[in-house]
């Protein structure tokens, strides 16, 4: 099996490679090709992977290239994990929104729309190239905003592109653990869009254990989402929302906290990662120790901003095993490559799962996965309050896709204006002005 990683110079690639190193089974990935537009970052990451592979006999061979076509040819799996505009682009997405008094965040609200507008044209190009050069490859999309990006790519790749996120799995595991259940045996009832879903049930041996959690204030106070949303609100909802719904349910507080912060999350990560790349560029720098790597991985992946802002504390050590996105990716590849039927929460086309959305809308939902790919399982309908958010945000995504396809500024304005977290059409217009000023990549929005 050959795996190609688009965005192979990314900070989290060592996590993915680390997961592959733990797989010794027949049919595992034996060749990894790293592709990136930045040769220095590629060198840095290739060096880390070399250090990781040291002493491991069956470690997958690694090739690094800045030639996209070469990277794609012969790929069985393509991971897309790119960040268009880099962390500087993310920091600008966050800042412009916050300066307008609305949420500036990587994937949610105005910041997420700006990121989507910048990213969709690039991933559409990639999808076209993949369809031509590796038509049989399975594409696993991590690129954020993951749901929107997966939908953009699915127009060219159909069900061969599958989007992943670690947050629903992480939520399911935390809730299972609080209830004293084995996370690997619990079936979760979860549905929505990426970063916009609700856990409505957790079934162990055919019994829903979630009501027991919702009835117990002490249990509710003992895990991350319980502290983030508060026991009363979880009881009112009768469900546990994805942590990203904090930005909707506590929007005013989140915006204020971000405005008061010294730097945005993107600016913070940028500083942190610049240090890493500078260090890896120095040929005399000693190899990273295991401790360095563990620390870098933790900082990169698990100290998410909303947890910090809400004072929910850092994620516990027990959450770090088998919950990370690299584990979801590996589980997905295994199921597809070896036809090992498994169930995973993934971003796939809706088909008939949620009747309020059309068949091509990408949703996040538990799926059965095997050699034929991922098929959503049947779920109960969403309650009206959730239908409201899901359909509003899907309309926003469709406006972004239209703007990216046609270059229409009116569609871009519509995307911002229709978002539940942008409170005025005037603000939406100013956001389009502001973003096109700071992002050269939005120059394509040149049609009225
Ligand atoms: C979670 C989300 C990802 C996001 C990641 C890191 O894992 O599911 O979509 O990329 O957090 O967020 P950060 O703010 O650390 O870049
Ligand atoms: Mn995610």
pLDDT tens digits, residue range 173-193? 999 999 999 999 999 999 999
Q: Give the whole-angstrom CA distance, residue 273 versus residue 279.
A: 10
DSSP class of 135: T
Q: What is the largest CA-CA distance in the chain?
A: 61
What structural domains does the chain harbor? Answer: 2-163 (3.40.50.720)
- Report the pLDDT averaged over residues 400-426: 98
The bound ligand whose nearest atom lies closest to the alpha carbon of 81 is: 1
What does the alpha-carbon distance between residue 364 and residue 347 come to, in Å, rounded to a whole number?
Answer: 4
Residue of the CA atom closest to atom 13 of ligand 1: 304
Place of tokens 């993310």: 90
Separation of alpha carbons 430 and 425, rounded Å: 9
Given pLDDT bands bounded at 50, 70 and 90, which one contains residue 324?
confident
Enter the ipTM.
0.98
**What single string gives the DSSP state of each residue in 19-72?**
HHHT--STT---EEEEE-S-HHHHHHHHHHHHHHHTT-TTPPEEEEES-HHHHH
Q: Is 144 annotated as a binding residue?
A: yes
Give the mutation target among 10, 325, 326 for probing the ligand 1 site: most ligand atoms within 8 A of CB. Answer: 325
CA-wise closest residue to 91 among 393, 441, 445, 438: 438
Instruction: With cut-offs at 50, 70 and 90, classify the pLDDT of residue 298.
Output: low
H-state helical runs in 159-289:
167-178, 210-214, 217-220, 224-229, 231-237, 246-249, 251-260, 265-281
pLDDT bucket at 399, cuts 50 / 70 / 90: very high
Q: Which pTM was predicted?
A: 0.94
Cα–Cα distance measured from residue 91 to residue 118, given in angstroms and rounded to the nearest whole number: 13
Helix (H) or strand (E) holding 320: none
CA 146/CA 108 separation, integer angstroms: 11
Q: For ligand 1, what atom is nearest to the CA of residue 300?
A: 15
Whose structure tokens read 């912060």?
Answer: 261
Name the DSSP class of 358.
Answer: -
């Amino acid at each position: 099996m050959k795996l190609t990683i688009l965005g192979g110079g990314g900070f989290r690639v060592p996590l993915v490679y680390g997961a592959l190193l733990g797989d010794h089974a027949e049919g595992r990935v034996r060749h990894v090709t790293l592709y990136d537009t930045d040769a220095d970052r590629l060198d840095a990451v290739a060096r880390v992977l070399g250090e990781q592979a040291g002493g491991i006999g069956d470690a997958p061979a690694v090739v690094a290239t800045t030639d996209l076509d070469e990277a794609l040819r012969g790929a069985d799996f393509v991971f897309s994990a790119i960040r268009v505009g880099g962390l500087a682009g993310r920091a600008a997405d966050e800042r412009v929104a916050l300066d307008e008094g609305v949420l500036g965040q990587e994937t949610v609200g105005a910041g997420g729309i700006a990121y989507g507008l910048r990213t969709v044209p690039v991933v559409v190009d990639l999808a076209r190239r993949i369809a031509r050069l590796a038509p049989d490859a399975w594409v696993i999309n991590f690129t954020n905003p993951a749901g929107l990006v997966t939908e953009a790519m699915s127009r060219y790749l159909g069900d061969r592109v599958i989007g992943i996120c670690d947050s629903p799995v992480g939520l399911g595991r935390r809730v299972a653990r609080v209830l004293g259940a084995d996370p690997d045996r619990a079936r979760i009832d979860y549905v929505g869009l990426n970063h916009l879903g609700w856990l409505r049930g957790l079934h162990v041996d055919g019994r829903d254990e979630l009501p027991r959690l919702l009835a117990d204030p002490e249990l509710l106070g003992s895990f991350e989402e319980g502290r983030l949303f508060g026991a009363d609100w979880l009881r009112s909802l009768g469900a546990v929302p994805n942590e990203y719904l904090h930005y909707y349910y506590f929007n005013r507080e989140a915006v204020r906290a971000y405005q008061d912060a010294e730097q945005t999350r993107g600016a913070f990560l940028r500083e942190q990662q610049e240090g890493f790349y500078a260090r890896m560029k120095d040929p005399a720098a000693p190899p990273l120790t295991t401790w360095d790597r563990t620390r870098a991985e933790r900082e990169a992946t698990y100290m998410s901003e909303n947890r910090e802002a809400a004072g929910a504390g850092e994620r516990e050590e027990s959450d770090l095993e088998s919950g990370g996105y690299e584990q979801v990716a590996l589980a997905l590849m295994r199921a597809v490559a070896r036809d090992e039927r498994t169930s995973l929460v993934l971003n796939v086309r809706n088909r008939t799962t949620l009747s309020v959305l059309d068949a091509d809308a990408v949703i996040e939902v538990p799926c059965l996965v095997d050699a034929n790919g991922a098929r959503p399982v049947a779920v109960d309908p969403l309650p009206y309050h959730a239908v409201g958010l899901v359909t509003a945000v899907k309309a926003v995504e469709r406006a972004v896709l239209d703007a990216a396809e046609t270059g229409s500024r009116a569609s871009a304005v519509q995307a911002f204006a229709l978002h539940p977290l942008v409170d005025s059409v005037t603000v939406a217009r100013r956001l389009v002005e502001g973003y096109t000023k700071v992002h050269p990549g939005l120059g394509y929005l040149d049609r009225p």
